[in-house]
Structure 1
């Protein structure tokens, strides 16, 4: 999470914002037409992401209406400008507003954009000739069983104008005319109350004199259980390909008509095929040709409007995800692609390493030929100028078991035609089932990016590591432009009681995983990635937005593919329109067996709160942190958390840094600005050792082993490569520290004492020694399966002076970890019953069974 300024007010948001790229200066001409002709108090509020907003006044812009002109500047470049049309009074600048955040994204080569807006319409027009001000019914929506909400583009006087209304297919009991225009920019709204319950499947039509007719679409009723019961569909969706034919099937119960648009390679004018209505709100058409590589779109009529949308189930896409593509996936497979993933049995055996594809090889010393690409990371034998291993060879040599890749699905905010000019983490999904093109050598080839990603996955597997995919189902980047909203408006998202989109994610919308078809989409997508790409685990971004039932359904579905697939996520408690008891958050962990949660408590108590630059933790000098760190060491098993309800160690992901917020090194520099570099290194190693020796599942951020720095940038989601790249020369500089982490990983792998699988085991075999606030010491009794050592003592000394620790038992004790080195072979042997533990260090001692 991080803080940004939006509309001149401070909000906490997740790291899913787009990068700002493009022109450094833009000029905008915005025309605004109000049907009522009353422009008093109306003005614009405009902003750039990360900057304060400002007001822009309208001026007379006849004949269309009124016009506002303004300029925006940002040295980092501008790809979109946010705006809100609002009404100000003497008492309140924000007395009223029309729609939520909208963005101008289209600029000419000189950075100029001219747009037209109309009262009551959210759409942004880029050509005045597209604007139609003729009287018409904008929508007629079935919101309740006996209630249809009708919206027109022009207001009228129901009492004095010669207006008549007819409802075809049902009888009218009452018509209620909306008189409150302060809460709505719609020129006119009315509600039809019917005498009888309306059917979800029957066709109705509203006709208003002078305004024409409009078929009744399904409105707010789409968010009811009866809608899910009526239209929940269990079959396959999307483009179902074979060489002989392709069946296209979409789900849009609200559509009155649907077309398939097929684009030939040499033409932008599509061939149109009428789709037939199928069961449960589906539409389908079958084309008896080999359509491999052909682009397509869906076109649906909702109300009076025709909407063109990409296939939400698209497995391949054109450049920048503009169109869906039919693909013969068998042609993207590699030799030996059927070879299974490396064997893996217990989630506690995992050591997860989080990595951004571009970061891994973009450094000039990465030794990779295809820097920043899928294939660059897949390369073997890469080294820097000093002969130091880089890339996958380094990660495998380090000993991690799982590479967790930041988003690899197709995302919005990097222009794939010039990816070298932009950067983004990718938490802004566009196509959930198609790979991102900016990591491909040729993003114009829909099939190539698929085979390149498979090449990378195979390369990771061939080195004995598994792959975890970062998935972002909790929100979409742009609701109006999302296929979900275009095909079934209002269904896929949560709404607050006031009808506004729920915003627990902090990025403008929350998806509604509890709805039948959203849950189905999530499960279908995960099964597709697991089966087609052999993905071995899924990390859920902002998992607390989702509901418990969905996450358990995900676990069950993936178990049928491979029970060793890991599921982990951010189980934060988020303010979304869902009861707390249903949220997939840490407090409900007991309801979600074998689903892991990131442990932010051990993170913040080791190094200090993530959202305070100066707050410190156990390793960097703060008192009062030892008990929460001990909770983390036991994965909350023997020292339980107050509200968090972990039941098994596999539910806990222990970590001290990740892609979000400051790296551990940068945090230590902030909290201890006068500390010598050697002390910073010692604190860093101390924190990492706590993570790698704790029960549960350890998680490392890429470069943590060589004390990665981002130069103090705490939110580098769109920062340049110079900030984000893995510095392979730094690895050579911190060679001893890398060796230390490698030794800790080897020690963890060597003994099940550090990766016990049940709460009962941990409570029985792990015991803490009494100590002060700056020292944590505990003993683990080894299991009967271990022949070499019978017990271990772990001492974490956060004091700035050495500490003499009483072992309570004569030696010999084998020292496996000291302040400088680590491993599973003895560094030295202690025969007395005391040992001096170096300042700011971790010591691990083991007693041989033969003694």
Structure 2
């Protein structure tokens, strides 16, 4: 193939300069029995519109020559011959690709072809009415993991993930948002029923087909089922955050819709002309290219407007430029002032990005792009990288990082230089790495890895110690200034049997069992009580900048926030504390915060006490 059809890092600025298209009508515009189709393919030698009767794009009913217009846009307008699906046949000299429309938002199963249909508009809804992220409590979910709580043989369905049984649990726990692992169409075919988290994007603008009722052929059905899931959460007062992966695609060249539309333009390249690999997955998306940035922002707006998504968690946000993330925030805030935008402030490998978003970004007073605080995470339970490590709750004290984390301040990796505590996303467990229970149980065994039943391995004595460590870890993140985040099942000792990277492991490893909620109700009640206490006292626990955190002795921390003083004791012994000036304490472990008319003068090992100031 003639290299003149390929983009490279030298030609991308020329493409941006000559062919940037600022219109909002790329893809399909439907008008009764006629339609207009616009395909942005500035380096193509020719583009034809292929019309099909069937979703598998086997029955061609017409082929239409598209006309090259300004800014690299190929255009056709007219009758679509009563057909239901279409592809673009894009030529680059002698090489020809047949692809779905990357700008359109409805597709056949596996995104083989785009569908001649549009999504019916409805009024946007967000049950979360705060612009301050710290008023949220975020709960991470994977559709398949949770579907199996209501259907043990499920391979994951939109309609099961918002089952009343699941929503009842979330409401009882008290979370405000669910953050759902990737839901766009990923590379696995619908016929492939094996497990995957979904960090292998294929088409960014359409729902993942494996989460739709099995055997569907109509792309509008996929749209409606995902919309219904979101609506079910909204009706319960729970906002929905979408985990997005605009940092790489599953494949490149013939395995990428984006490469087959504008070869190599959507990706950053290295000095040899190959794909830079800042994602660690073989490529990285070039949001520094103007039309790529436009595509990503248009895609995000689509998910908000058409599906009522209320926020976005950016996977490997460090692959995007800081400027890009700021622009994304400003654009989405125009749709919803209460939208949440945050992500992982790192890359997955050596990255070609310039000024990558490796930290939070202030975008005005008390708002902006949030970032996961791995410094606080590592201080509490031990690092996840560079070898197995213990943290504060296991007795390896990291007092200065604990102080900074409690205040929502930036730590050694400088994740929150914004000075806005709410932009620090606090967590000790997510889908990646060990579950909190597994990490603590392996630590208790004095091992660096383990595969099997960790409850049996640690026994009853170990279980009681791990429970105390787990609840203490939760108290740090839930009561800190900043925005708390917990992983689904963390609140009842979820285990993955020692598997620290379960992205394609079995359902047996990944599935959620609500039986744990009953079995470990003491842990669940502690999480429930902590969340209720935080949400009941937003003037004390949120994004305050006048709080104090002080190390009394190694492992013992005094934390003052608003009307409350909390002593955290990560040591193995009870510790004397100063209760002068306090007449009441708050008990949260029962699941319902309750004010007591006494104050203890000690705090138990691996525990915390909450004092309330005199009125």
The answer to whether the superposition gives a TM-score over 0.5 is yes
Partner of 1:294: 84
1:63-462 superposed matches below 5 A = 138-141=1-4, 217=5, 219-220=7-8, 223-235=11-23, 236-265=25-54, 268-270=58-60, 271-289=62-80, 294-330=84-120, 338=123, 340-345=125-130, 346-363=132-149, 366=150, 372-380=156-164, 382=165, 391-413=166-188, 415-417=189-191, 419=193, 422-442=194-214, 443-462=216-235
Is 2:607 the partner of 1:835?
no
Deviation at 1:290, TM superposition (A): 8.0
From 406, 411, 417, the counterpart of 1:633: 406
1:303 CA drift (Å):
2.3
- From the superposition, tell whether residues 222 and 246 of structure 1 become closer, same or farther in structure 2 (CA, over 3 Å): farther
| d(CA) in 2 for partners of 1:677, 1:631 | 29
Unaligned runs of 5+ in 1: 1-137, 142-216, 383-390, 783-790
The 8 Å contact of residues 321 and 356 in structure 2, kept in 1 or not, is answered as yes
Distance change in 2, residues 1:269/1:626 (3 Å): same
Q: 1:393 to 1:290 in 2, by over 3 A?
A: farther
Q: Give 1:815's match in structure 2, choosing from 573, 586, 594.
A: 586
**Residue 485 of structure 1: SS of its match in structure 2?**
coil
- Look up the match of 1:656: 428
C-alpha deviation, 1:461, in angstroms:
0.3
Give the drift of 1:499: 2.1
Identify which of structures 1 and 2 has the higher relative contact order when contacts are C-alpha pairs closer than 8 Å and 6+ apart.
2
Give 1:242 deviation, angstroms: 3.0
Q: Is the 8 A contact 1:319 1:417 kept in 2?
A: no
Q: Tell me how far apart the structure 1 counterparts of residues 576 and 180 of structure 2 sit (CA, whole Å).
A: 43
Q: Secondary structure at the match of 1:650?
A: helix
**Partner of residue 578, structure 2:** 806
TM-score, normalised on structure 1? 0.67
Compared CA separation, residues 320 and 219, structure 1 to 2 (3 A): closer
Q: Is contact 2:416–2:423 with CA below 8 Å preserved after alignment?
A: no
Moved over 4 A (4+): 367-371, 590-593, 639-644
Q: Does structure 2 conserve the Cα–Cα contact (< 8 Å) formed by 1:362 and 1:372?
A: yes
> Which of 716, 732, 738 is equivalent to 2:502?
716
Q: Say if 1:356 and 1:425, in contact at 8 Å, map to a contact too.
A: yes
Per-residue CA distance 1:530-575 (angstroms, 9 max, x = gap): 0010100001110100112211111111111011100010111552
Cα pair 2:375 2:412 within 8 Å, conserved:
no
Change (3 A) 1:652 1:644: closer
**Cα gap change, 1:740/1:709 in structure 2, threshold over 3 Å: closer, same or farther?**
same
Pick aligned residue for 1:680 from 459, 466, 474:
466
Q: Is the 8 A contact 1:242 1:328 kept in 2?
A: no
Question: Which residue is equivalent to 2:476?
Answer: 690
Shift of 1:372: 2.7
Greater share of residues in strand:
1
- Mapped partners of 2:516, 2:415: distance in 1: 41
Higher helix share: 2
Corresponding residue number in structure 1 for 2:261: 487
User: Cα distance, 1:773 vs. partner?
Assistant: 1.7
Rounded to whole Å, the distance in 2 between the matches of 1:460 and 1:221 is: 43
Compute the displacement of 1:423 (Å). Answer: 0.7
Secondary structure of residue in 1 paired with 2:391: coil
Q: Give the match for residue 371 of structure 2.
A: 597
CA displacement, residues 599-632 of structure 1 (integer Å, 9 cap, x when unaligned) = 1111111111113664100001113x12112111
1:265 shift after superposition: 2.8
Structure 1 residues 220 and 504, CA gap change in structure 2 (3 angstroms): closer
- 8 A contact 2:249–2:283 mirrored in 1: yes
Q: How far apart are residue 244 of structure 1 and its match? A: 3.5
Please show how residues 429-828 of structure 1 align to structure 2 within 5 Å: 429-442=201-214, 443-480=216-253, 481-572=255-346, 575-579=350-354, 582-586=355-359, 589=361, 594-611=368-385, 614-623=388-397, 625-636=398-409, 644-673=416-445, 676-757=462-543, 761-762=544-545, 764=546, 766-780=547-561, 782=562, 791-809=563-581, 811-817=582-588, 820-821=589-590, 823-826=592-595, 828=596
Distance 1:779 1:430, change over 3 A: same
Corresponding residue number in structure 1 for 2:453: none
SS in structure 2 at match of 1:220: coil
CA–CA distance in structure 2, aligned partners of residues 770 and 471 of structure 1: 38
Note if contact 1:354-1:658 (Cα within 8 Å) is conserved in structure 2.
yes
Residue correspondences, number:
592
State the alpha-carbon separation in 2 of the partners of residues 668 and 770 from structure 1.
23
Deviations 1:248-296 (A, max 9, x none): 11111111111011111397242211000111001011133586x8121
User: 1:756: Cα distance to partner?
Assistant: 3.6
